[in-house]
Structure 1
Amino acid sequence: MIKIDDLVVAYGGIEALKGISLEVPSGKIVTLVGANGAGKSTTLKSIVGLVKPKSGNIDYEGTDLTKINTEKMVKKGIALVPEGRRVFADLTVLENLKIGAYSRNDHHGIEEDLEKVYELFPRLKERTWQAAGTLSGGEQQMLAIGRALMSRPKLIMMDEPSLGLAPIIVKELFEIIKKINKEGMTVLLIEQNANAALKIADIGYIMETGRIILTGTGKELLHNEEIKKAYLGESL
């Protein structure tokens, strides 16, 4: 679905990505794991056009994403759940969700997808008319995911969805990510929480200072001794 080849991104004279290559196959959960500053978010920003690469290619189903704008990406079936959730605080839950469908004009389909989001996140249905800024952190994260789903994407990308959330909410969110994937959606997950991410990932990439240093199935990486020491704690 997405193939990144030899991608270099520089901020000023400093290279944040130093020629990374990776693939996100259709129907899979792929995770990028690494510490702060490893280059995970820069990779995501490059895919959605928020950062222009110095060199390299990002191929999405035959289209070079470095050559098109972000709005066209939404129409091609790519959705982003940004770091920090970024909900519209003064708008209601329902208004936030409908903003996710801004590029669509199929009224009936939008109503169907609203119901699907409410099935995934019953708490959002209970708070339809509540201002998004008054929701808890976990509820805002659910809303951000629901909003992305409203564009009916083929690929959903999530930037640090577990950040700042209680462990019980993190567990719930990751179960929902698995459910979304089982329904046929491809997921690219950017995470510092290596343990949670690798447990659900088909494929994992470990990033360090702008490079991919290791790749494998989620299970392989979970049981890799180096990864255990660096990211999971030796006891896990």
Structure 2
Amino acid sequence: MLKIKDLHVYYGGIHALKGLNINVPHNKIVTLVGANGAGKSTTLRSVMGLVKSTSGTVIYNDKDITNKKTKDIVLQGVVMVPEGRRIFPNLTVEENLTLGAYTRRSKDSINKDMKWVYELFPILKDRLWQKAGTMSGGEQQMLAVGRSLMTKPKLLMMDEPSLGLAPLIVKDIFDIIKEIHKEGVTILLIEQNAKAALEIADYGYVLETGTIVLEGNGIDLLNNDKVQKAYLGE
């Protein structure tokens, strides 16, 4: 579904991505783990056209989307849940979710997906008229994921969905990711919480300073000695 080939990205004089190669098959969960500054967020931002690559290609469903306009990439079904949630704090929960569906026209389809979001996140249904900025961090993360689902993504990319959340909320978020995947959504997950990410991933990549240093099935990476020492504290 998504193929990143020999991607190079520079930030000023910093070579952020150094010939990145990643494959995200249809209807799989793929995770990209690594420390701060490894280039994980840059990877997603490059796919979305928010950061321009110097060379290399991004192929989505056999179409070259390298450095295309973000709005055109979204219209093809590629959606990102950004790090830090980036909800609209002065708008209500319902208004945030409605904005997620801005590219869509069918009211029946939108209402159906709104119902699905409320089934995934019952707390959001209870807070319809609450200003998003007054919600807890975990609730805001749920809203950010819900808003992205209202776009009806085929490929959902998530940037550090567990960042700053309490352990119990982290478990809820990862359970929701599995539920979204069951509905046929392909997922590319960026995470510092390597254990949680690799436990649910079909395939994983380990990124260090812009370079893939390890890759393999999620469970194999979870049991890899190097990964355990570097990212799992074992």
**TM-score category by the smaller chain?**
over 0.9
Partner of 2:147: 147
CA contact (8 A) 2:53 2:67 kept: no
Kindly report which structure 2 residues correspond to 1:1-236, keeping only aligned pairs within 5 A, or say none: 1-234=1-234
Distance 2:218 2:58 in 1: 23
Distance 1:73 1:39 in 2: 21
Amino acid in structure 1 at the alignment position of 2:84? G
Point out where structure 1 has 5 or more consecutive residues left out of the alignment: none
Q: 1:66 deviation in Å? A: 1.4
Q: 1:3 deviation in Å? A: 0.3
Q: 1:68 deviation in Å? A: 2.1
CA contact (8 A) 2:16 2:210 kept: yes
Q: 1:120 deviation in Å? A: 0.3
* Matched residue count: 234
Distance 2:221 2:215 in 1: 7
Distance 1:96 1:50 in 2: 21
Q: 1:67 deviation in Å? A: 4.4
Amino acid in structure 2 at the alignment position of 1:27? N
Amino acid in structure 2 at the alignment position of 1:186? T
Q: 1:64 deviation in Å? A: 1.2
Runs of 4+ in 1 over 3 A off after TM superposition: none
Point out where structure 2 has 5 or more consecutive residues left out of the alignment: none
Distance 2:233 2:97 in 1: 38
Amino acid in structure 2 at the alignment position of 1:84? G
Instruction: Give TM-score scaled by structure 1 length.
Output: 0.98
Question: Residue deviations 1:90-147, cap 9 Å, x none?
Answer: 0000000000000111111111110000000000000011000011100000000000
Superposition RMSD in Å? 0.6
Distance 1:13 1:170 in 2: 36
Q: 1:58 deviation in Å? A: 0.3
Amino acid in structure 2 at the alignment position of 1:175? D
Amino acid in structure 1 at the alignment position of 2:98? K
